[in-house]
A and B are shown apart, each in its own frame.
Chain A
Amino acid sequence: MTEPAALLTAAIGGDRRALSRLITVLENTDDRLPTILADLLTAGRGAHLVGVTGPPGGGKSTLIETLTAEWRSAGRAVGVLAVDPSSPLTGGAILGDRIRMMSHSADTDVFIRSMASRGVLGGLAATTWLAAAALDAAGFDPIVIETVGAGQSEVEVAALADTTVVVEVPERGDEVQAIKAGLLEVADLVVVNKGDRPGADRAARQLRALLSPAGGRIRRAAPPVLVTSALERTGITELVVAVDRHRAVADQPERVLKRAEGRILRLVADEARARARANPEWATEAQAVAASETDPLSAARRLLGLPS
């Protein structure tokens, strides 16, 4: 096997095959840090990371295909990381986002990579940030990260992406759905996709009203709400303009700091989980909790070597 360092050098030099193999190496590092991490991050060119999230079937993949076409016509090389869930039972996965993006398959300046979440909750794989770093080093900008379509709790994409786009559909449910905590709170841009369907404008109006600041402790500005139809290619140019324009907001120091915190916390959680599982007492502790001989919190602290 070619060394990761050689793959990185080749990928930076424009070798797409090396880039692809580099992502495999990064994806398979499990709980160890890749040896080339420092070089990989130094090679970053500051690409705009755009997260696209929202419920399954909302048209995220199709929307990304049309956005990609728009960015391509502006001469930008586009990277796409499409995450789909792994089976918690078998570890297998069906990665089916690419099927919506086949119109770009002959274009070497569009690099699409499907990733299985591999047992991680929250809509991203543990190594998605490394794959994004590889695409950045290879000169792709923007890099679009499509999360699994989990819905309400997958807010961690906001920690990774500079700009988070939440894709909704006209039939999104009643107004209480929109004021529940979670996904919409992390949106930098909200898109009502499938705008060709009845009710899209009304859904957009409702969302705008519900997302406007209600006072209180959150001082974040309300995210713009846009209506698109990936099918009819309407609203796409406006969305690209809004995403590109959001870059300036994303680069504000307090936003950068917030993302940094989120990224660290994510890795802390991954690391803790790996350590607990690797502890030889893992099975014993699990059985003790199952038999109600101890509680999960005490077991967790012992497995991490913390004072109980």
Chain B
Amino acid sequence: MTDSGRRTPIRVLLAKPGLDGHDRGAKVLARGLRDEGFEVIYTGLRQTPEMVASAAAQEDVDVIGLSILSGAHMTLVPRIVELVREAGMNDVLISVGGIIPDADVARLKAVGVAEIFGPGTSIGEVARYFREHARPGD
């Protein structure tokens, strides 16, 4: 899909579904990923699963990054994964960042989340993971 040996930038949708009160962390990550050469579509706070899925489909992103601090991940994330797959986006890499109890990590992975990034993860680690795992067909 890329030609002349030049890779086009990986497109990432960063969204904060649910009722989190602030998005400082998500903005820091957006900025960090920009500096790593990603194209970051930032949609802001209080997104419904439907809004996230629709934005991901229209923007044709390679990666969806969900930032959740509210503890509602077990209701929000499986629904988003379901809507995204229903929209025919089978290759898109879905990752979650935030405070996720260990017990839920396996359950989120079982519904199709590729990776979970907890507190203290560096932006470099996230960028490396996205680069290695986005666009599986490429």
Contact = CB atoms under 8 A, between A and B. Distances in A.
Contacts of B34: 87, 90, 92-94
Interface of B: 1-4, 6, 8-9, 30-31, 33-44, 47, 50-51, 54-55, 57-60, 87-89, 137
Contacts, number: 94
A112 B60 CA distance: 11
Nearest to B32: A92
Interface stretch (A22-30, A44-52, A169-177, A300-308): A22-30
B43 A21 contact: no
Interface of A: 1, 16-17, 20-21, 23-25, 27-32, 86-87, 90-96, 98-99, 102, 105-106, 111-114, 116, 118
Closest 8 CB pairs of A and B: A92-B34, A99-B44, A105-B51, A20-B60, A90-B37, A92-B37, A24-B60, A95-B41
Given A30-B6, A92-B35, A114 B41 contact: yes
Contact of A20 (B6, B37, B57): B57
Contacts of A28: 1-3, 8
A93 B37 CA distance: 7
B49 to A, nearest CB: 11
Contact of B50 (A30, A92, A105): A105
A170 to B, nearest CB: 26
A21 B30 CA distance: 23
A106 B49 CA distance: 11
Nearest to B89: A17
A95 B9 CA distance: 13
